[in-house]
Amino acid sequence: MWPSEDWASRLSDWANIGLIASLIAGVVSTFLLVWMGNVKEAYLKTHLQQSTIDLEKQKGETAKAQAEVLRLQKQRLPRTLEFESNDSLQALIASLKRTPFTAEISYKKGDGEASWFAEQIRGLLLSAGWTVPHPTPIPEDMSAHAVEKLKAQPDGVTVITKRSSDKDKPDAPEAILTNLLSKSLGSVALSPDANLPDNFLRIIILQKP
């Protein structure tokens, strides 16, 4: 049975409307798919960037923690003179031999670690032909004012020389020794004393900082 012409026209119009609606829906769906895909990709990039930042931050924190552990481990170890190789040790001794000095070494009494380090420095200087008496102990109960009168820092190692600065003569014995101690310990104090005789220096070794 055929529909009437009127119904056929109506059904055709509805079919066209449905087709147009489906095409519009397809376009909208395609647009939404592309848009949401870009949005998801943007979020993914953001998450990846944040993950990278977090990972780098974690690496930095891990490196800091490892450095702190090494610092604490080194702090518990006795101080010692460090050389890159035996050749560098021999070269340093040869440099110190060019101008033999007299050195006076003092350490905090009752501090076995400071006493041991004082003897190590003395052994090095003796091998370079310097005149170095046995290290002398500083009273344990010496006041901060008394330590200051010695021109020494309250802790660590202080090298006291007549020269106010060794920057203009990096090959001077004072500079060579100070540089060695700085590399071995991380830091060393340098203090001038105009009353000291020429070719003389004093080394004060107190407790580890």
Question: At CA 95, angle to CA 91 and CA 100, rounded to 5?
Answer: 140
How far are the Cα atoms of 13, 19, 65, 129 from residue 7, in angstroms, in the given order?
A: 10, 18, 83, 123
The whole-angstrom separation of Cα 70 and Cα 27 is 64
Calculate what percentage of the chain has a pLDDT beyond 70: 89
Domain ranges of the chain: 1-77, 86-205
Q: Which of 2-6, 19-23, 111-115, 199-203 has the lowest mean pLDDT?
A: 2-6
Whether pLDDT at 126 is above 90: yes
Q: Give the pLDDT band (50/70/90) at residue 203.
A: very high
Average pLDDT estimate for 151-173: 76
Cβ atoms 131, 96 nearer than 8 A:
no
**Confidence band, pLDDT 50/70/90 cuts, at residue 132:** very high
